[in-house]
């Protein structure tokens, strides 16, 4: 049992204050979502709502098709994550286990491509999607994102850590590369694959710029885009805006609370930004 | 036993055989595995890069017909004289060189505190890392409400210190500060995570040895921990500079998609977005995108240089 010293108390106090600052915008968002218009516009502000009324949420769902947005976000995110994971597993396997001349050179080239900002190539990608007649189509939100160099890089490194002897003994037993990949490597690499899938889920769920460009009608909007249009459509009524923002944020927060360690370990490898 | 001997005898010969015949078969299988990856990469990354470079040199480019008058530097000359682009460069630079240093120093402090592994550490980590996973639009909207002039909670807190309310979002002088405050907050989680994992890689033996010699915590941090953490700090700075150079999304929740109330808060990416998507001048958008790429390239080179020179730390 550790002694509770003054130093320990100060450390905790500092971290509690820091935590409050980090969480405060969320607290304020959730709190305001339950307030009445009169409660929202008061100084000094009230720190707890008088009651947990759901009027603002009901208003959000009635004026804007947030149910539809939610469904679109789920479809887009699930498709992106499933396709990207599949493509990434195959590519990482070829880049780590299969042998062919020029493999590592090719991979270095891919790594170099990683520094290309997405904002730069967006112009051409928009034209490509327009040429294919996929503007304002939910498919356009999925297909540009199936090949991720960064996720392939993480998984390739993980695959490299699986000992060669495992591969050769499986080959001697007559397993094909395909079988070896799915029966042995993928189960072993599960933690890495889960991490990639989580980072991918978060990025895809929060995507804004690309949907803003290619989606025009409300039935194809995802949650962040739907929320953005709600700002102009719903008028500046903060209790309603905060209710709508809460709808967007809560699923990811729940995901984070249950999978924090996975997400943090993925981010520590440089993911999620840029 | 027999199986092991087969294994050891067969392997070298097999490897030799593989090396000898470089035929279609050598490439066929890897290619099959890489095909889905490369199709996506070719269409949505490789082709666009080449295309944007070409586009940036096409003068008087028309989007619908694809016609242009000639190849030249006209687009670059135009945007480098465009006051909105200059405004974008200036704001982006201010944003990058305030948000990144301030958030790194704060992150260093909190990473150090979190590394003490207090009993409530999981709870603190959850709180500190939460902003990382949430939508910029949703959280930005919460910040817009916090920044509100009349009823915003930030002005309320300031009033407790007898500071007059500040019109954060509707006064052109304060708009950039609002984005910066929000930026510092939103860069903390990512920066703390990287610095924390850097701290955890430092052998605690160094600190213990110094403590035996009677060094204070303060001295240990600045003389031992910080120098050992320098490579991580350098890496974090560069990664954050690159990422902050692309500041853009924040403008949408805070200013309803406008670059500030007085159109004085352009950023490089916002400029690209507007020239491309509002004005449909693709050549100029391409030129601005190439300039963004060059900025990122410079910092990436610095990053590679630092990584190479710090490896033996």
The token pair that represents B277 in the structure block: 């998507």
Q: Which domain holds residue B26?
A: 13-72
To the nearest whole Å, the CA of B251 is away from the closest chain A CA by 11
Residue B310, pLDDT score: 64
Domain ranges of chain A: 54-268
Task: Say if residue A248's pLDDT is above 70.
Answer: yes
Supply the mean pLDDT for chain A. Answer: 91
3-state SS, A181-213, equals HHHHHHHHCHHHHHHHHHHHHHHHHHCCHHHHH
Task: Say if residue A146's pLDDT is above 90.
Answer: yes
For chains A and B, what is the number of CB pairs under 8 angstroms?
282
Q: How many residues does chain A have?
A: 274
Burial class (CB in 10 A: 0-12, 13-18, 19+), B161: exposed
User: Between residues A90 and B312, which one has the greater pLDDT?
Assistant: A90
Measured between beta carbons, the chain B residues lying within 8 angstroms of A251 are: none
Supply the mean pLDDT for chain B. Answer: 88
The token pair that represents B298 in the structure block: 């410079």
Q: What are phi and psi of A18, to 5 degrees?
A: -60, -45
Same domain membership, residue B224 and residue B92: yes
Query: To the nearest whole percent, how much of chain A has pLDDT over 70?
Result: 96
Q: Which candidate, A221, A32, A110, A11, places its Cα nearest to that of B45?
A: A110
Nearest CA in chain A to B294: A116
Measured between beta carbons, the chain B residues lying within 8 angstroms of A225 are: 137
Nearest CA in chain B to A226: B137
Question: Does residue B217 lie in a domain region?
Answer: yes
**pLDDT-based confidence at B113, cuts 50/70/90?**
very high
Query: To the nearest whole percent, how much of chain B has pLDDT over 90?
Result: 65
Same domain membership, residue B63 and residue B161: no
Q: Which candidate, B76, B78, B71, B74, places its Cα nearest to that of B54?
A: B71
Q: Any chain B CB within 8 A of the CB of A169? A: yes
Residue A170, pLDDT score: 87
Task: Say if residue B277's pLDDT is above 90.
Answer: yes
Question: Does residue B146 lie in a domain region?
Answer: yes
Question: Does residue B201 lie in a domain region?
Answer: yes
Residue B233, pLDDT score: 92
Measured between beta carbons, the chain A residues lying within 8 angstroms of B248 are: 119, 209
Tens digit of each residue's pLDDT (9 = 90 or more) over B279-297: 999 999 999 999 999 999 9
Centre a 10 Å sphere on the Cβ of residue A127 and count the other Cβ atoms it contains. 16
Residue B25, pLDDT score: 72
Strand partners, B24: none
Q: How far apart are CA A155 and CA A91, in angstroms?
A: 9
Task: Say if residue A125's pLDDT is above 70.
Answer: yes
Q: Which of A53-67, B98-112, B209-223 has the highest mean pLDDT?
A: B98-112
Residue B14, pLDDT score: 47
**pLDDT-based confidence at A4, cuts 50/70/90?**
low
B167 Ramachandran zone, left/alpha/beta (phi>0; psi -120 to 50): beta
Nearest CA in chain B to A124: B48
A170-173, long-range: CB < 8 A, 24+ apart? A172/B3, A172/B6, A172/B7, A172/B10
Q: What are phi and psi of A90, to 5 degrees?
A: -60, -50
Same domain membership, residue B162 and residue B60: no
Q: How far apart are CA A14 and CA B106, in angstroms?
A: 12
- Say if the Cβ atoms of B134 and A26 lie within 8 Å: yes
Question: Does residue B1 lie in a domain region?
Answer: no
Same domain membership, residue B45 and residue B176: no
Mean pLDDT of A55-80: 94
**pLDDT-based confidence at B11, cuts 50/70/90?**
very low
3-state SS, B125-190, equals HHHHHHHHHCCHHHHHHHHHHHCCCCCCHHHHHHHHCCCCCCCCCCCCCCHHHHHHHHHHHHHHHH
- Say if the Cβ atoms of A143 and B40 lie within 8 Å: yes
Give the DSSP letter of residue B71: E
Q: How far apart are CA B195 and CA B177, in angstroms?
A: 26
Measured between beta carbons, the chain B residues lying within 8 angstroms of A147 are: 36-41, 44-45
Tens digit of each residue's pLDDT (9 = 90 or more) over B67-76: 888 899 999 9
Q: Any chain B CB within 8 A of the CB of A197? A: no
Name every residue whose Cβ is closer than 8 Å to that of residue A85 and which is 6 or more positions away in sequence.
Answer: A193, A196, A197, A200
Same domain membership, residue B85 and residue B175: yes
Tens digit of each residue's pLDDT (9 = 90 or more) over A9-50: 999 999 999 999 999 999 999 999 999 888 888 878 888 878
Residue A270, pLDDT score: 62
Residue B13, pLDDT score: 44
Same domain membership, residue B304 and residue B194: yes
How many separate domains does chain B show? 2
Question: Does residue B2 lie in a domain region?
Answer: no
Q: Any chain B CB within 8 A of the CB of A253? A: yes
What's the ipTM? 0.91
**pLDDT-based confidence at A141, cuts 50/70/90?**
very high
Same domain membership, residue B216 and residue B281: yes
Give the DSSP letter of residue B1: -
Q: How far apart are CA A85 and CA A193, in angstroms?
A: 7
A235-238, long-range: CB < 8 A, 24+ apart? A237/A37, A238/A32, A238/A40, A238/B145, A238/B148, A238/B151
Q: How far apart are CA A145 and CA A131, in angstroms?
A: 18
Residue A242, pLDDT score: 94
How many Å is the maximal CA-CA distance in chain B? 86
Task: Say if residue B56's pLDDT is above 90.
Answer: yes
User: Between residues B300 and B10, which one has the greater pLDDT?
Assistant: B300
- Say if the Cβ atoms of B153 and A28 lie within 8 Å: yes
Strand partners, B58: B71
Nearest CA in chain A to B15: A99
Same domain membership, residue B300 and residue B209: yes
To the nearest whole Å, the CA of A201 is away from the closest chain B CA by 10
Q: What is the CATH number of the domain that holds B243?
A: 1.10.3720.10
To the nearest whole Å, the CA of A136 is away from the closest chain B CA by 15
Measured between beta carbons, the chain B residues lying within 8 angstroms of A198 are: none
Residue A67, pLDDT score: 92
Nearest to B136 among A20, A21, A206 (CB): A206
CATH for the stretch A54-268: 1.10.3720.10
| B207 three-state secondary structure | helix
Nearest to A22 among B48, B63, B188 (CB): B188
Task: Say if residue B2's pLDDT is above 60.
Answer: no
Residue B313, pLDDT score: 42
Nearest to B118 among A15, A208, A256 (CB): A15
Tens digit of each residue's pLDDT (9 = 90 or more) over A190-217: 999 999 999 999 999 999 999 999 999 9
To the nearest whole Å, the CA of B70 is away from the closest chain A CA by 19
Nearest to B26 among A100, A123, A177 (CB): A100
Same domain membership, residue B165 and residue B285: yes
Nearest to A273 among B134, B145, B239 (CB): B239
Question: Does residue B5 lie in a domain region?
Answer: no
The tally of CA atoms less than 13 A away on the side-chain side of residue B210 is: 16
Mean pLDDT of B170-193: 94
**pLDDT-based confidence at B214, cuts 50/70/90?**
confident
Burial class (CB in 10 A: 0-12, 13-18, 19+), B178: buried
First-to-last alpha carbon distance for chain A, in angstroms, is 44
Query: To the nearest whole percent, how much of chain B has pLDDT over 70?
Result: 91
Same domain membership, residue B66 and residue B83: no
**pLDDT-based confidence at A130, cuts 50/70/90?**
very high
Q: How many residues does chain B have?
A: 313
Question: Does residue B3 lie in a domain region?
Answer: no
CA B123-B143-A197 angle, to 5 degrees, is: 55
Q: How far apart are CA A272 and CA A88, in angstroms?
A: 16
Same domain membership, residue B149 and residue B23: no
Strand partners, B59: B70
């Amino acid at each position: 049992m550790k002694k509770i010293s003054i130093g320990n108390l100060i450390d905790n106090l500092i971290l509690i204050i820091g935590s409050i600052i980090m969480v405060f915008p969320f607290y304020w968002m959730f709190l305001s979502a339950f307030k009445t218009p009169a409660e929202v516009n008061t100084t000094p502000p009230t720190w707890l709502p008088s009651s947990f009324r759901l009027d603002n949420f009901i208003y959000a769902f009635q004026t804007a098709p947030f149910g539809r947005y939610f469904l679109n976000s789920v479809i887009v995110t699930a498709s992106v994550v499933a396709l990207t994971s599949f493509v990434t597993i195959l590519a990482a396997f070829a880049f780590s286990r299969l042998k062919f001349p020029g493999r590592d050179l090719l991979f270095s080239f891919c790594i170099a491509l990683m520094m290309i900002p997405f904002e730069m190539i967006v112009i051409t990608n928009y034209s490509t999607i327009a040429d294919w007649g996929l503007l304002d189509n939910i498919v356009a939100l999925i297909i540009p994102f199936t090949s991720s160099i960064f996720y392939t890089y993480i998984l390739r490194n993980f695959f490299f850590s699986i000992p060669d002897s495992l591969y050769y003994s499986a080959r001697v037993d007559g397993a094909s590369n395909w079988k070896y990949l799915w029966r042995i490597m993928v189960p072993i690499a599960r933690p890495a694959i889960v991490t990639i899938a989580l980072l991918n889920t978060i990025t895809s769920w929060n995507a804004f710029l690309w949907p803003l460009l290619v989606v025009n009608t409300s039935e194809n909007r995802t949650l962040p885009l739907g929320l953005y249009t709600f700002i102009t459509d719903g008028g500046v009524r903060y209790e309603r805006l905060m209710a709508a923002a809460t709808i967007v944020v809560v699923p990811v927060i729940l995901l984070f609370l249950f999978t924090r360690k996975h997400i943090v370990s993925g981010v520590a490898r440089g993911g999620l930004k840029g | 036993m027999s199986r092991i001997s087969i294994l050891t005898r067969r392997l070298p010969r097999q490897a030799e055989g593989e090396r000898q015949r470089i035929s279609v078969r050598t490439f066929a299988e890897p290619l099959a595995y890489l095909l889905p990856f490369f199709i996506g990469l070719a269409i949505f990354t490789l082709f666009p890069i080449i295309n944007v470079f070409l586009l940036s040199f096409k003068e008087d480019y028309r989007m619908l017909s694809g016609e242009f008058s000639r190849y030249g530097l006209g687009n670059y000359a135009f945007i480098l004289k465009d006051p909105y682009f200059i405004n974008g460069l200036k704001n982006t630079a201010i944003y990058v060189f305030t948000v990144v240093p301030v958030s790194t120093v704060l992150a260093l402090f909190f990473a150090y505190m979190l590394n003490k592994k207090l009993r409530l550490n999981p709870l603190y980590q959850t709180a500190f890392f939460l902003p990382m996973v949430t939508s910029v639009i949703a959280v930005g909207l919460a910040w817009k409400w916090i920044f509100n002039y009349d009823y915003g909670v930030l002005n309320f807190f300031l009033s407790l210190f007898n500071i007059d309310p500040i019109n954060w979002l509707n006064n052109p002088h304060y708009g950039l500060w609002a984005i910066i405050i929000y930026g510092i907050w939103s860069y903390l989680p990512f920066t703390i995570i990287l610095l924390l994992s850097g701290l955890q890689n430092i052998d605690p033996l160094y600190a213990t040895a110094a403590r035996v010699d009677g060094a204070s915590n303060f001295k240990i941090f600045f003389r031992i921990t910080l120098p050992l953490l320098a490579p991580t700090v350098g890496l974090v700075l560069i990664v954050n500079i690159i990422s902050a150079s692309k500041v853009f999304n924040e403008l949408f929740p805070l200013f309803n998609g406008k670059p500030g109330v007085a159109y004085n808060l352009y950023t490089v990416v916002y400029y690209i977005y507007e020239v491309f998507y509002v004005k449909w001048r693709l050549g100029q958008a391409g030129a601005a995108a190439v300039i963004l790429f060059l900025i990122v390239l410079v910092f990436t080179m610095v990053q590679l240089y630092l990584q190479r020179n710090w490896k033996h730390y």
